[in-house]
Amino acid sequence: MGKIFGWGRLGVDGRETFSEDLAKVTRGANLSRGLGRSYGDSSLPAVSTDSVINTTLANRVLSLDEESLVIRVEAGASLVELNKLLIPRGLFSPVTPGTKFVTVGGMVASDVHGKNHHREGCFGEHVRAMKIRLADDSIVECTPTVMPDLFYGTIGGMGLLGHILEVEFELRRIPSQWIWMESERVDDIDSFVSALNTAAPKFPMTMGWIDCLNRGKRMGRGILMAGRWATADEAKSRAPYELPHITVPFELPNIALNAVTAQAFNSAYYWKHLARTKVGLVGPEPFFYPLDAILEWNKVYGPRGFTQYQCVIPRHAGPPAVRAFMELLTRLGGASPLCVIKDCGPEGKGTLSFPLEGTSIAVDMAVSPDIQRIVDQLNEFVIETGGRIYLTKDRFTTKEHFRRMEPRLDRFVSLRDKYDPRRRIRSAQSVRLLGD
């Protein structure tokens, strides 16, 4: 028996079945997973004997209509491959997460959001149709009007209502292969929230990096990045260079990423941005996927593994709630150089879709003996504000906290009762958070 890992590298015993033929292998299966970029246990089996389907060999493009801008792919098709195909033709996915190493099935199941959430919503908003293998082994095609409960339950449903076999979604035309980016050094958390607000109407894409190791006055200092696709006139005549990838060759010792190195990393990141603002052209790679340049960077956390805490704090809770969250976070000390802030637009239609109007904060944390206590305290805070966490990043939220933060839970459970009353489809996460 081998091990199956999420991106946070806390593995469980299990075995994956790989096949090009998802319709064949998902029959009777317990869980589908893609490239395993979910951090926690969303893509891990509940017990080692559960049958887990790895979809990545099912990667065909079934149709691509450049007129109507609709593409249909098998669920294991990855954004890496699709980008290579689409960008040179002036097309792009309407929504991309911060890594291109994701499958389309995973993008639907997590209902991923990107830097353009305030404009375009989540990926699920652009899905037209899906072919799904249900727990009773039937295969159905669902759309916003055909079996809409299944359709919207599957968007953000973490794979728990059925195995996604094929996805049809809309594409966007892009005017060039370059991004016009403006970035700005921001001094503290309050300025950050207001800077994101100011940038949102001007730019289709915004996000920020926060140095969340600093406390006090400089708490929440960081870099705000805003961008849009460059017009054909602005763009360089050549395509952006393909960036070389480097691979972290082996798991570094636990000590490699401690508070001191993290602090040094963050300061370097902040002060590299010497000018207060920078403007110019960048390629989509460094803009959308800065972390992808280092393959397998998750190994820097060492064998203890890590998790990401991502929550959204509702707009109505106001900037003081964001500041208070940052204060709590820095006080609890889950030291990490990576902290991302983004303002989210309105909640989507996916039954369990993560974003809601407000401020999302994501921070990586090494797993330590304190991790459960830290996550519990952050969750208590987030629940107070009326916010919630992102399931695809989560490994430590308790069932009780999840119930309290998720008013849509009953609706989702009733969908599971309808489509999988015997709970054949399950993950380690569903057992942890839903009890089965």
Partner 1 sequence: MKAVLLGATTGMGRAIARKLASRGEALFLLGLDEEDLAKSAADLSARNPSLAPVRFAVCDLEKPETFAPALDAASEALGGFDTVIVTAAMFATQDALEDDIELARRLVTVNYANTVVFCEHARKRLLARGGGKLVVFSSVAGERGRKPVAIYGSSKAGISAYLEALDHKFYSEGLRVLCVKPGFVRTGMTAGLKAPPFAGEPEDVADTVISAMDRDESVVYAPRVWSAVMTVIRALPRAVMRKVNF
Q: Whose Cβ is closer to partner 1: residue 61's or residue 200's?
A: 61
Q: Whose Cβ is closer to partner 1: residue 84's or residue 202's?
A: 84
Chain centre distance of CA 310:
9
User: Among residue numbers 20 through 49, which ones bind partner 1 (CB under 8 A)?
Assistant: 20-21
Half-sphere exposure of 117 (CA within 13 A, CB side): 28
Q: Residue 15 is encoded by which pair of tokens?
A: 């075995």
Pick the piece of the chain touching partner 1 (CB under 8 A) from 66-74, 153-161, 329-337, 406-414. 66-74
Minimum gap (Å) between residue 85 Cβ and partner 1:
6
> 244: how many CB neighbours lie within 10 A of its CB?
6
Dist CA 248 CA 99 (whole Å): 16
The torsion of the CA quartet 230, 233, 238, 244, rounded to 10 degrees, works out to: -20
Does 277 contact partner 1 by CB under 8 A? no
Rg (CA), the chain: 21
Minimum gap (Å) between residue 147 Cβ and partner 1:
22
Q: Whose Cβ is closer to partner 1: residue 27's or residue 202's?
A: 27
Dist CA 391 CA 377 (whole Å): 17
Dist CA 186 CA 270 (whole Å): 9
Residue for token pair 């090494």: 366
**233 Cβ contact list (under 8 Å, min separation 6):** none
Dist CA 301 CA 336 (whole Å): 10
Q: Whose Cβ is closer to partner 1: residue 55's or residue 206's?
A: 55
Q: Site map for ligand FAD, 29-68, x if CB under 6 A?
A: --xxxxxxxx---xx-----------x-------------
Residue from 11, 12, 57, 261 that binds partner 1 (CB under 8 A)? Answer: 57
Minimum gap (Å) between residue 325 Cβ and ligand FAD:
19
Q: Residue 168 is encoded by which pair of tokens?
A: 């049809």
Does 80 contact partner 1 by CB under 8 A? no
Residue from 14, 40, 45, 105 that binds ligand FAD (CB under 6 A)? Answer: 105
Q: Which does 83 bind (CB under 5 to 8 A by kind): ligand FAD, partner 1, none?
A: none
Q: Which does 231 bind (CB under 5 to 8 A by kind): partner 1, ligand FAD, none?
A: none
Q: Which does 19 bind (CB under 5 to 8 A by kind): partner 1, ligand FAD, none?
A: partner 1
The answer to whether the beta carbons of residues 293 and 233 sit under 8 Å apart is no
3-state secondary structure of 217: helix
Residue from 3, 13, 17, 49 that binds partner 1 (CB under 8 A)? Answer: 17
Q: Residue 403 is encoded by which pair of tokens?
A: 């119930």
With contacts defined by CB under 8 A, how many residues of the chain interact with partner 1?
Answer: 17
Chain centre distance of CA 147:
26
Q: For the chain, what percentages of helix, strand and coil (3-state, to nearest 5) are there?
A: 35, 25, 40
Residue from 45, 159, 283, 284 that binds ligand FAD (CB under 6 A)? Answer: 159
Does 85 contact partner 1 by CB under 8 A? yes
The answer to whether the beta carbons of residues 295 and 345 sit under 8 Å apart is no
Does 13 contact partner 1 by CB under 8 A? no
Does 295 contact partner 1 by CB under 8 A? no
* Binding region for partner 1 (CB under 8 A): 16-21, 57, 60-64, 66, 71, 74, 85, 89
Residues that bind ligand FAD (CB under 6 A): 7, 31-38, 42-43, 55, 75, 97-99, 102-103, 105-106, 109-110, 112-114, 158-159, 163-164, 291, 392, 427
